[in-house]
Amino acid sequence: MKSNDARTAKILKELKSRCRGYYGQLFELIKPINPKYDIAVKVALSKCLKFLVVNTAESAQMVNEFLAEKQISKDVLILENVPDKSFSKGLQARLEGADASPVYDVIDISRRDPLLERAIRYFSADKVVTKNFQSAAQLQAQKGIKEIVTEDGTEFRQGMISGGHHANIFNLSLGTAQLDGTISKVLDRVQKLEQEHMRLRQEFEDEIEAKERQALRQVSLTELELEALKDKKGAIARQILQQTEANQELSSGLAEARKAGEKLHAKMEELRSQRDALKEELQAAEKAAFKNFCKKAKVKSVADFEASLFCRPKLDGRQGGEGAADLTLEPLSERVLPATEAGLLASKYDLEHAISKS
């Protein structure tokens, strides 16, 4: 029996990989929202839990052909053929205040497919899950609810109570398809993460390579700039050397000019001394000459001599009678002029000439 179940599980796994429209067995696609409802959900949907769920009739045909090939037989649930069924009118109102819920409300559907949700609603119908036998009896008697399942799996129907005959479904693990789907999602996520990792790694490597190229270009530019700076530094050093040499030459020229200036200054001082000595000698000679001249001319000073050149008292008896005197100007020499600037210059010349002869 176990070998047959293992073979069937292997075949159905292969079927899922070959037919996209095959979702899995119904019990694999659902699970209770709380583990305490596990048995109640299994009992409520016991007739259809092992149905093979497909989306369309075409998918159902592919599944049947595959199963025939494998020589096994399974009931196939075609979702698009399941009619839409709503809850009975007033069911929710009758459950208000009671410790009970519609079976549909305690089922978690792993695959978000409106057709699958419609099928679960159809098979769960107006079935209600409650805590225990007493609560179920009260719901039937007081609320008129016909189909009730307790959490321990006891099934209440109108006019009858049953339990324990669903042992063949208790070993089913609800929601295994969700687990498989979760694993698939995790694997897909891992694959996407690996792809993202590869993409980011490639981007990182590209970025590193680009930065390396940029750094190499920058290094090359820096080396060129360093070479240019070295050349510029050499040119500046040569200019400094030339300027230093020029400054040295200028300093040397300034020193020579300073020495020449000092010599010239000494020479000028010497000439000033000679000039002063000559002045003194000239003044002494002039004094001696004036002194000898004044002595010979019998005057006290040159001024007296110059005054005597312009005027001398003269007696004229024709005008005043005998003994009368008339003061007139009488030139002493033909070169003596009247008392004008020219006469003064001439008198000065006579004086200098006389001095030079004395």
pLDDT tens digits for 292-305? 877 777 777 767 77
Q: Which pLDDT score, from 0 to 100, does residue 325 have?
A: 45
Q: Coil, strand or helix: which one is 126?
A: coil
pLDDT band, residue 66 (cuts 50/70/90): very high
pLDDT in tens, 85-111: 887 888 888 888 888 999 999 999 887
Tell which wins on pLDDT, 167 or 221.
Answer: 221
Confidence of residue 345 (pLDDT cuts 50, 70, 90): low
Q: Which amino acid is at 157?
A: R
Residue 24 belongs to a domain: yes
Number of domains in the chain: 2
CA 80 to CA 57: how far, in whole Å? 8
Residue with the larger pLDDT of the pair 36 and 176 = 36
> Which pLDDT value is given to residue 165?
52
332 assigned to some structural domain: yes
Q: Hey, what are 187's tokens?
A: 């694997």
Residue 330 reports pLDDT greater than 50: no
- Quickly count helices (H) and strands (E) in the chain: 12, 10
Q: Calculate the CA 118 to chain-centre distance.
A: 57
Instruction: Give me the pLDDT at residue 352, please.
Output: 62
Question: Is the separation of the CB atoms in 108 and 181 below 8 Å?
Answer: no
Is it the case that residue 338 has pLDDT exceeding 70?
Answer: no
Higher pLDDT: 179 or 130? It is: 130
Residue after which a domain boundary falls, among 114, 142, 174: 174
Please state, in angstroms and rounded to a whole number, the distance separating the CA atoms of residues 164 and 324.
204
Last residue of a domain, one of 174, 204, 236: 174
Of the pLDDT bands very low, low, confident and very high (cuts 50, 70, 90), residue 32 is: very high
Give the chain's radius of gyration (CA, Å): 74
Identify the band that residue 335 occupies on the pLDDT scale cut at 50, 70 and 90. Answer: very low
- Any idea how long the chain is? 358
> Per the domain annotation, does 87 fall within a domain?
yes
Asked if residue 181 lies in contact with residue 111, where contact means CB atoms within 8 angstroms, the answer is yes
pTM of the model: 0.47
DSSP secondary-structure letter at 106?
G
Q: Quick one: pLDDT band at residue 168, thresholds 50, 70, 90?
A: low
Write out the residue range of the structural domain in which residue 55 sits: 2-174
Do 60 and 78 touch, CB atoms closer than 8 A? Answer: yes
**Secondary structure (DSSP) of 92-124:** HHHHTTSSEEEGGGGEEESS--HHHHHHHHHHH
Give the chain's mean pLDDT: 80
Provide the 3-class DSSP secondary structure of residue 33. Answer: coil
The per-residue pLDDT for range 104-126, each reduced to its tens digit, is 999 998 878 899 999 999 998 88
Give 31's strand partners.
108
Quote the strand ranges of the chain, DSSP E: 22-25, 30-32, 52-54, 76-78, 100-102, 107-109, 128-130, 148-150, 155-157, 160-162
Q: What is the mean pLDDT of residues 202-212?
A: 89
Q: Is residue 236 part of a domain?
A: no
Q: Is the pLDDT of residue 57 over 90?
A: yes
Which of the listed residues 115, 143, 174 is the one where a domain comes to its end? 174
- pLDDT greater than 90 at residue 77: yes
For residue 142, tell me if it sits in a domain.
yes
Determine, yes or no, domain membership for 222.
no
Residue 108, strand partner residues: 31
Report the alpha-carbon distance of residue 146 to residue 136 in Å, rounded.
Answer: 10
Is 208 inside a domain boundary? no
280-284-290-294 Cα dihedral, nearest 10 degrees:
150
Give the per-residue pLDDT at 358: 53
Question: Is 288 inside any structural domain?
Answer: no
Tokens found for residue 78: 């075609």
- Residue 165 shares a structural domain with residue 16: yes
Whole-angstrom distance, CA of residue 39 vs CA of residue 153: 5
Least confident of 65-74, 166-175, 213-222, 237-246: 166-175
What's residue 194's pLDDT? 74
Rounded distance between C-alpha atoms, residue 327 and residue 313, angstroms: 5
Which range is least confidently modeled, 78-87, 261-270, 313-322? Answer: 313-322
Residue 68 — pLDDT band, cuts 50, 70, 90?
A: very high
Instruction: Give the pLDDT of residue 328.
Output: 46
